[in-house]
Amino acid sequence: MRSHESFTLADYRARYAQYKSDPDLHAAHRAAPWIVTWDDHEVANDYAGDVDERLAPDFAARRAAAYQAFYEHMPLRLPAPRSFGALRMFQRHDWGRLARFHLLDSRQYRSPLACSKPGRGGSNVVLARACAELRDPRRTMLGLEQEAWLAQGLSSSRARWNILAQQTLMAQSSGVPVRSPDDGRFWTDGWDGYPAARRRLLDTLATSRARNPLVLSGDVHTFYAAELRRDVARPVSKTNPIVAAEFCGTSVTSSSRPQARTAENVERNSHILYGRSDRRGYMLIDLTPAASTAQFMALDDVRDACTAQSVLDAFRVDAGVARVRGA
């Protein structure tokens, strides 16, 4: 069990006060405008909707306190809600004709996590054949209202690029080889825990005809570059095209799993083209009418505030072509 967690409004405010004392964070806010969303650790690890790991009966009050502290301390373009128990976070931002940013909330409205351990909420790693909940088409990651909002925003977009800024890796990532529909071992807190919802989203991307969709992800403490298609069991074709490119940024300082395991994961999942979990850093996106280029920026030593940084790798997606290639 984690220690030193926040539970009350005072706890969350104190934690933000600690974070906001960082002079480097001050500089980051001065340097650029921010568009922010949240994931689980703004409230509690691996919570889903109104269910937390502890299955706490008072979790709704804790979540409302966390949402209020987030609203008070983060740069948001949102009116104050009537109740902090439900703070609408999904937003849309147009950057001229170049890009439309669809900012998603995949935490507040999601169905409870599938096949959690007995007596617990939170995530699990499960074999697909042993977890029937994974295949329930009613389960949602975004909630029906947000799914409809996203569909409308994509279909009405006239932007050159449509960027889905969201929380966690969207590409299917099995921990074992997948040779049949019932194969696969999946972590249930990510999109792999909501395959029907992911398929709906990819269907929406394809049918909306929104130009050049690009998915930006995080959460998994690993750099990834991937190509998203509706059926990863079938090769790319006219009936099974690449729907979008995905770039996933790593953690800035938090550790991750050994690189050998990530390399094995990339080999098992052919639509994931690149993965690095042994370096910390961030991602830079250069967006032009002709192409989108992602640079994975790596720090030499996260324990040294004066550490050097370098481009670990870079990938490019040309407008009109969803394929990911080296930059």
In total, the chain counts a number of residues equal to 327
Q: Is 245 exposed, middle or buried (0-12, 13-18, 19+ CB in 10 A)?
A: buried
Question: Is 87 in contact with 38 (CB distance < 8 Å)?
Answer: no
62-93 core/surface letters (b: 16 or more CB in 10 A; e: else): bbbbbbbbbeeeeebeeeeeeebeebebbbee
Residue linked to tokens 């979008």: 244
Indicate if the alpha-carbon torsion angle 103, 170, 122, 257 is positive or negative.
negative
- The amino acid sitting at 68 is Q
Q: Is 99 exposed, middle or buried (0-12, 13-18, 19+ CB in 10 A)?
A: buried
- Which residues partner with 85 through β-bridges? none
Give the integer Cα–Cα distance in Å for 268 and 206: 25
Give the integer Cα–Cα distance in Å for 19 and 92: 27
Angle formed by the axes of helices 144-155 and 195-208, nearest 10°? 20
pLDDT of residue 182: 86
Give the integer Cα–Cα distance in Å for 35 and 75: 8
Close Cβ partners of 148 (under 8 Å, ≥ 6 residues apart): none
Q: What tokens were used for 3?
A: 């220690």
Written as tens digits, the pLDDT of the chain (327 aa) is 567 899 999 999 999 999 999 999 999 999 999 999 999 999 999 999 999 999 999 999 999 999 999 999 999 988 889 999 999 999 999 999 999 999 999 999 999 999 999 999 999 999 999 999 999 999 999 999 999 999 999 999 999 999 999 999 999 999 999 988 889 999 999 999 999 999 999 999 999 999 999 999 999 999 999 999 999 989 999 999 999 999 999 999 999 999 999 999 999 999 999 999 999 999 999 999 999 999 999 999 999 989 999 999 999 999 999 999 998
Q: Are strands 161-168 and 213-218 parallel, antiparallel or unpaired?
A: parallel
pLDDT of residue 2: 65
Number of other CB atoms surrounding residue 322 within 10 Å: 21
Question: Is 266 in contact with 278 (CB distance < 8 Å)?
Answer: no
Q: What tokens were used for 137?
A: 């088409």
Tell me the DSSP string of 279-292. Answer: --EEEEEEE-SSEE
Give the integer Cα–Cα distance in Å for 288 and 301: 32
pLDDT of residue 20: 95
Question: Is 142 in contact with 109 (CB distance < 8 Å)?
Answer: yes
Q: Is 105 exposed, middle or buried (0-12, 13-18, 19+ CB in 10 A)?
A: buried
Q: DSSP label at 132?
A: G
Give the integer Cα–Cα distance in Å for 174 and 185: 5
Torsion of CA 314, 319, 325, 327, to 10 degrees: -40
